[in-house]
């Protein structure tokens, strides 16, 4: 069905397409530009192809080069291709489009495109029209090419002019810092790019997260009734809102299921069925509501800025009925047991620590997730039946299904008293039974073995997974190590060696290795939870006379974590890192501030760079590593290895 605004109008018209009985509407789109006069250009979403015998073809009122102004009454002039494609998918069987046709002959229209449209068209329609046939309506050309393959998908064309003003083609993955120093998602509205005209119209001052209403409206131009909400809360106080997901489990969304009339959020303009798109620069759109609750809990500070889309209660989307009575206990973990029937709930008493180490990984059966990587011997977690390799699904009422490593660690650190963990073993019953039998057999054999005689510290070898006391001769040499640890250090659970200088006394002794955990120095306990980093370092830089006694724990496998740092390095600007050779890569021996927030706020002395721009540094000599890092510029990616020891020291008694 075709409807016209006016019989005399040959510029704009309304076209309605119905795909009943068809697989698709039959239009392929592209974002680009067309010259509508010698001095002006128009950008937007254009039709780049029409599938033969499709609704778009049969209606006879669409042609290649038409510009789509609105789609189902939504302005899409500044929308991206992907956003329009999603809008078409959600439309159902009928779409209404406002179409603009430029009042030029076909030859001029084709010359006006600067976005690769002609090349795309020639690729699929190989018959080249003559100058006379080019003046005929494009629909007749399509009718004569029924056997040619239809367009399959829209592609992003990047060779048109003024791309900086019209379309944002930056990498939107990862995080970035605002001018105020707050870390936000690159895909946040606070990082949205305005063109020159939009900047001139936007008189609003950006807040600390980079938000203005102009940037918010541009980022979410296809959403309904977008709002910016600001609220102040006291530290760790509940917000008083219940969250729920989308009715369609395949679509990730975060909806407000209810607002507590006595809570903090009752004082602002937020209602049930509202969709939360962002909070403090963290994008929640297309994320699970379970994961969104973790994001809310991990936000520091008293100020919350939410970006919401107002939905009506009659709109489809909210997976539950709006909650009207509070207090209501919203237990998200019930969805975990529905999805993972073999999951089990375990209660562990936290006495300073739980006794588990976790890692973010991937499993063939369950995909990405948080897994138990190690257990402290005789810890409450081990006694409760948690095993290495278990999938961690929740901590108390907080689900960790889509949590990052840092988010899961924060949940475990905040938990106090009796902690309820939901875990699932990924091993079958036979494997678990066999492991239990082996474990019991080992305990029986260990009980029969006579206790080992204490070794002489001067000659004792460091034992795996045992505390060992060794004595090192100094011979007027410095110890010659780099260690990490301290309460104002990123490593607070223990003091660990990350580098051994070849000219030092420890190198000459040849018994200590990188990643050895130092528990005591000359009977002085190295409690990094109470000692500053300076105090820890002083233990290894003090001048000793004859010998030094160390209590050492060598974990097998070594206890460390790996994480990536990505940033853009300007040519000629230094990293601010002093490096020294390490068998695993390069150790950071000194660190000076350079203005790179990713380095200044995340790295420390003693960290080991194991990969640089995807290349393993352990396979390179130190001069090669240094040259590779020194000459680099542009987008930089570094893999950092940092010790992550289990806490083996006791708090001092008061």
Same domain, 472 and 582: yes
Tokens 């588990």 belong to residue? 356
Same domain, 479 and 368: no
Given a contact cutoff of 8 angstroms between Cβ atoms, the answer to whether 578 and 589 are in contact is: yes
Same domain, 188 and 130: no
Given a contact cutoff of 8 angstroms between Cβ atoms, the answer to whether 33 and 41 are in contact is: yes
Instruction: For Cα atoms 269, 274, 277, give the angle at the middle one, nearest 5 degrees.
Output: 100
Q: Do the domain assignments include residue 85? A: yes
Q: Do the domain assignments include residue 179? A: no
Same domain, 285 and 338: no
Given a contact cutoff of 8 angstroms between Cβ atoms, the answer to whether 210 and 219 are in contact is: no
Given a contact cutoff of 8 angstroms between Cβ atoms, the answer to whether 329 and 243 are in contact is: no
Which residues are within 8 A (CB) of 281 and not within 5 positions of it... i.e. 6 or more apart? Answer: 178, 182, 183, 184, 185, 188, 190, 191, 209, 210
Q: What is the DSSP letter of 266?
A: G
Given a contact cutoff of 8 angstroms between Cβ atoms, the answer to whether 644 and 357 are in contact is: yes
Same domain, 414 and 470: no
Query: What is the model's pLDDT at position 391?
Result: 92
Same domain, 273 and 382: no
Containing 230, the helix (H) or strand (E) segment is strand 226-232
Q: Which two tokens stand for residue 585?
A: 């890569």
> What is the C-alpha separation between 48 and 531, in angstroms, rounded?
66
Q: Which two tokens stand for residue 33?
A: 């530009």
Same domain, 634 and 491: yes
Q: Which two tokens stand for residue 5?
A: 């605004």
Query: What is the model's pLDDT at position 553?
Result: 95
Tokens 């009122």 belong to residue? 61
**CATH code of residue 206:** 2.30.42.10
Instruction: For Cα atoms 61, 65, 69, give the angle at the middle one, nearest 5 degrees.
Output: 75
Question: Cα separations (Å) of 334 from 171, 255, 470, 560?
Answer: 37, 18, 52, 33
- Three-state SS sequence of 335-401: HHHHHCCCCEEEEEECCCCCCEEEEEEEECCCEEEEEEEEECCCCHHHHCCCCCCCEEEEECCEECC
Q: How many structural domains compose the chain? A: 4
Q: Do the domain assignments include residue 153? A: yes
Q: Do the domain assignments include residue 567? A: yes
Beta bridge partners of 184: 176
Same domain, 461 and 414: no
Given a contact cutoff of 8 angstroms between Cβ atoms, the answer to whether 550 and 518 are in contact is: yes
Q: Do the domain assignments include residue 283? A: yes
Given a contact cutoff of 8 angstroms between Cβ atoms, the answer to whether 373 and 359 are in contact is: yes
Of 395, 430, 465, the residue at which a domain comes to its end is 430
Q: Give Cα 269 to chain centroid, integer Å.
A: 29
Of 380, 395, 430, the residue at which a domain comes to its end is 430
End-to-end Cα separation, the chain, in angstroms: 84
What is the tens place of the pLDDT at every residue in 536-564?
A: 999 998 888 889 999 999 998 999 999 99
The DSSP annotation for 516-576 comes to PEEEEETTEE--TTTS-HHHHHHHHHS--SSEEEEEEEB-SS--EEEEEEEEEEPTT----
Same domain, 609 and 525: yes
Q: Which two tokens stand for residue 296?
A: 């809310």
Query: What is the model's pLDDT at position 316?
Result: 73
The burial class, CB within 10 Å (0-12 / 13-18 / 19+), for 293 is buried
Q: Do the domain assignments include residue 322? A: no
Query: What is the model's pLDDT at position 653?
Result: 55
- pTM as predicted: 0.36
Q: Do the domain assignments include residue 586? A: yes
Same domain, 26 and 118: yes
SS percent in the chain: helix, strand, coil, step 5: 20, 30, 50
Same domain, 234 and 90: no
Gyration radius (Cα) of the chain, Å: 32
Q: What is the DSSP letter of 307?
A: E
Q: Do the domain assignments include residue 175? A: no
Specify the pairing of strand 547-553 against strand 467-473: antiparallel
Q: Which two tokens stand for residue 301?
A: 């500070």
Beta bridge partners of 368: 362
- Pick out the chain residues at pLDDT < 50: 1-10, 104-165, 328, 654
Same domain, 653 and 559: yes
What is the tens place of the pLDDT at every residue in 41-98?
A: 788 899 988 888 888 888 888 988 889 999 998 889 888 888 888 888 888 888 999 9
> Would you call 499 helix, strand, or coil by DSSP?
strand
Q: What is the DSSP letter of 464?
A: B
Residue 126's domain comprises: 2-163
């Amino acid at each position: 069905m075709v409807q016209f605004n006016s019989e005399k109008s040959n510029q704009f018209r309304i076209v309605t397409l119905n795909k009943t009985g068809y697989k698709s509407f039959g239009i392929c789109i592209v974002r680009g530009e067309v010259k509508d006069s010698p001095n002006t250009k128009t950008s937007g979403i254009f039709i780049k192809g029409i599938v033969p015998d499709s609704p778009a073809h049969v209606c006879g009122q669409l042609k290649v080069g038409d510009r789509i102004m609105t789609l189902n009454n939504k302005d899409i002039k500044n929308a991206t291709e992907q956003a329009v494609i999603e809008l078409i998918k959600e439309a159902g069987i009928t779409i209404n489009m406002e179409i603009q046709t430029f009042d030029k002959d076909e030859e001029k229209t084709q010359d006006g495109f600067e976005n690769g449209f002609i090349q795309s068209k020639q690729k699929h329609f190989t018959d080249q029209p003559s100058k006379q046939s080019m003046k005929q309506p494009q629909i007749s050309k399509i009718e004569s090419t029924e056997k040619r393959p239809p367009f399959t998908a829209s592609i992003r064309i990047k060779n048109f002019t003024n791309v900086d003003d019209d379309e944002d083609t930056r990498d939107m993955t990862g995080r970035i810092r605002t001018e105020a120093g707050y870390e936000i998602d690159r895909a946040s509205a606070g990082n949205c790019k305005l063109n020159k005209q939009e900047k001139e119209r936007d008189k609003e001052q950006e807040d600390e997260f980079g938000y203005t209403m102009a940037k918010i409206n541009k980022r979410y131009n296809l959403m309904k009734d977008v709002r910016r909400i600001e609220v102040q809360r006291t530290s760790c106080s509940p917000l008083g809102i219940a969250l729920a997901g989308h009715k369609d489990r395949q679509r990730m969304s975060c909806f407000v299921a209810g607002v507590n009339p006595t809570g903090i959020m009752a004082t602002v303009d937020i209602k049930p069925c509202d969709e939360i798109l962002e909070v403090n620069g963290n994008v929640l759109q297309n994320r699970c509501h379970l994961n969104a609750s973790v994001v809310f809990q991990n936000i520091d500070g008293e100020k919350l800025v939410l970006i919401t889309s107002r939905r009506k209660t009659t709109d489809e989307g909210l997976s539950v009925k709006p909650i009207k009575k509070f207090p209501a206990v919203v237990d998200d973990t019930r969805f975990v047991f529905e999805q993972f029937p073999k999951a089990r709930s375990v209660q562990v008493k936290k006495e300073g620590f739980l006794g588990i180490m976790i890692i973010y990984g991937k499993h063939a059966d369950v995909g990405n997730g948080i897994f138990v990587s190690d257990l402290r011997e005789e810890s409450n977690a081990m006694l409760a039946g948690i095993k290495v390799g278990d999938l961690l699904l929740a901590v108390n009422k907080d689900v960790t299904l889509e949590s990052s490593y840092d988010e899961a660690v924060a949940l475990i650190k905040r938990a106090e008293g009796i902690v309820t963990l939901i875990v699932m073993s990924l091993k079958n019953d036979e494997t678990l039974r066999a492991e239990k039998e082996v474990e019991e057999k080992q305990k029986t054999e260990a009980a029969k073995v006579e206790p080992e005689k204490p070794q002489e510290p001067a000659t004792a070898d460091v034992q795996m997974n045992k505390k060992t006391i060794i004595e090192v001769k100094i011979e007027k040499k410095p110890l010659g190590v780099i260690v990490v640890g301290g309460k104002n250090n990123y490593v607070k659970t223990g003091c660990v060696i990350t580098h051994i200088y070849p000219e030092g006394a420890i190198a000459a002794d040849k018994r200590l290795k990188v990643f050895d955990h130092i528990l005591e120095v000359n009977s002085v306990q190295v409690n990094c939870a109470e000692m500053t980093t300076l105090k820890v370092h002083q233990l290894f830089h003090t001048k000793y006379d004859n010998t030094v006694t160390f209590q050492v724990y060598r974990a097998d496998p070594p206890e460390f974590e790996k994480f990536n740092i990505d940033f853009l390095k300007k040519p000629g600007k230094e990293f601010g890192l002093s490096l020294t050779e390490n068998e695993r890569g390069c150790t950071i021996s000194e660190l000076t501030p350079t203005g790179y927030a990713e380095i200044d706020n995340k790295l420390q002395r003693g960290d080991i760079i194991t990969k640089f721009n995807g290349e393993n540094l352990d396979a390179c000599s130190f001069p090669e590593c240094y040259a590779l890092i020194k000459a680099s510029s542009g987008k930089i990616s570094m893999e950092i290895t940092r010790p992550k020891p289990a806490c083996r020291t006791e708090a001092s008694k008061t």
